[in-house]
Copies of this chain bind each other. A is one copy, B any other.
Amino acid sequence: MARIVMKFGGTSVGNTDRIKNVARRVKAEVDAGNEVAVVVSAMSGTTNQLVTWTNEIARLHDAREYDVVVASGEQVTVGLLALALQDIGVNARSWLGWQIPFRTDGIHGKARIGEIDTTVMRERFAPTGDRGGQVAVVAGFQGIGPDNRITTLGRGGSDTSAVALAAALDADRCDIYTDVDGVYTTDPRITAKARKIDRITYEEMLELASQGAKVLQTRSVAMAMQHGVRVQVLSSFEDKPGTLVVDEGEIVEQQVVTGIAYSPDEAKVTLVGVPDRPGVAGAIFGSLADSAVNVDMIVQNVSQDGKSTDLTFTVGATDLDRAHQVLDGLKGELGFTDIVSDPGVCKISVVGVGMRSQPGVAKTMFQTLAEKGINIQVISTSEIKVSVLISADYTELAVRALHTAYGLDAEGDG
């Protein structure tokens, strides 16, 4: 017997037939003798519709009222799933954020999770009389703030709800059911040779998630790592094992490189002739941060004349216009000569905890790209990751070549 949190996203509960399918999945775990809590998102499309309505009403939101509106989507799915479970003989009840209670701070629209009271839920897991234990059907994405009002965790927050609940319940596993069957060595749409990864470490998953592999929300992975929650990513439409996200110690045979991610939504900005004196970089990146422009890779060339240098960095493509506005305002004050930007770039990252102990990973990357005639514009590294910025035109070519170079290609007909 195990205690399991199962989480189903919007496409998995997108209509009543799919909700019935989810109920059968849950029943299988119950029939296997497990204690089960299920976290669900809103039916796919619902949250977008609700957000559209709030935008039609007013451009500037009171985030507390926004939360009231958008949290209704998950309320519908918990009720429907509880009904579907009862209909096939499973003892189940729905739980809304305020009923549990699932406490958060008061930052409406992107609340942080506080304490989750699981006392009653735990009691009900136990069979009573001739009745089997009760399945808790929990609304994802929502909680209750200190002001007794509904809060939401931000888009995709249901993954985080599930992991947080698994931690609070001391669950043996948190199964995230989605429309793909696991985490792949790279995007299968780019190369058919991509392989499903059986086990991956939190750190690697975190790098892959934040580098553009959109299977799991970054925040949920960070939380799983923090609390040691074993997370499994698997398909809600197929009945086969997925990818287990676990602690490094649980992985016996570690690949040097586990996966290759790419992030096409990047733009490169170069400031030409930036005065080479202390405080200039601080002024530039401070102003960008104040305007909520996220800066990722940063490269500063060596000053050639001792007076000025070029500064290159990347921002999210959607932030590029805002970045230009901020930088235009600084140009006179800081005295750089020009702003050159290029939205046609892509960041490619190779990720693997094995590279800590294995030198030469970066070298393989640079050689492979050079052999294909791909110019590297910016390089950035971490302990378990090497990222390069290249022209977006070469994205597929680069990913495929690196996938082969690091021995990740599936064998046989893959």
**Which residues of A are at the interface with B, using a C-beta cutoff of 8 A?**
16, 19-20, 50, 53-54, 56-58, 60-62, 64-69, 71-73, 75-76, 78-80, 82-84, 86-87, 93-94, 96, 98-99, 148-150
Contact = CB atoms under 8 A, between A and B. Distances in A.
A66 B86 contact: no
Nearest to A73: B72
Contact of A53 (B16, B96, B98): B16
Given A58-B87, A61-B83, 10 more contacts: A20-B57, A62-B83, A64-B93, A65-B79, A65-B82, A65-B86, A67-B79, A68-B78, A69-B80, A96-B150
Nearest to A99: B148
B58 A76 contact: no
A84 B96 contact: no
B94 A57 contact: no
A20 B86 CA distance: 40
For the complex of A and B, the 4 pairs showing the least CB-CB separation, nearest first, are A69-B79, A68-B79, A58-B87, A16-B56
Given A62-B86, A65-B86, A76 B50 contact: yes
Contacts of A62: 82-83, 86
Interface hub of A20, A67, A71, A75 (most chain B Cβ within 10 A): A75
Contacts of A98: 98
Contacts of A84: 57-58
Contact of A75 (B61, B68, B82): B68
14 contacts: A16-B53, A19-B57, A20-B57, A50-B76, A54-B79, A57-B84, A58-B83, A60-B87, A62-B83, A65-B86, A66-B83, A69-B76, A69-B79, A99-B149
Interface hub of A62, A68, A82 (most chain B Cβ within 10 A): A68
Contacts of A149: 99
A96 B68 contact: yes
Contacts of A50: 76
A57 B83 contact: yes
B79 A93 contact: no
Nearest to A68: B79
Contacts of A56: 16
Nearest to A86: B62
A206 B60 CA distance: 44
B71 A75 contact: yes
B83 A65 contact: yes
Contacts of A61: 83
Nearest to A58: B87
Given A57-B19, A57-B87, A62-B82, A72 B69 contact: no
B65 A76 contact: no
Nearest to A55: B16
Given A75-B75, A86-B58, A53 B80 contact: yes
Contacts of A58: 83-84, 86-87
B65 A94 contact: yes
A72 B68 contact: no
Nearest to A139: B68
Contacts of A148: 99
Nearest to A56: B16
Contacts of A65: 79-80, 82-83, 86, 93-94
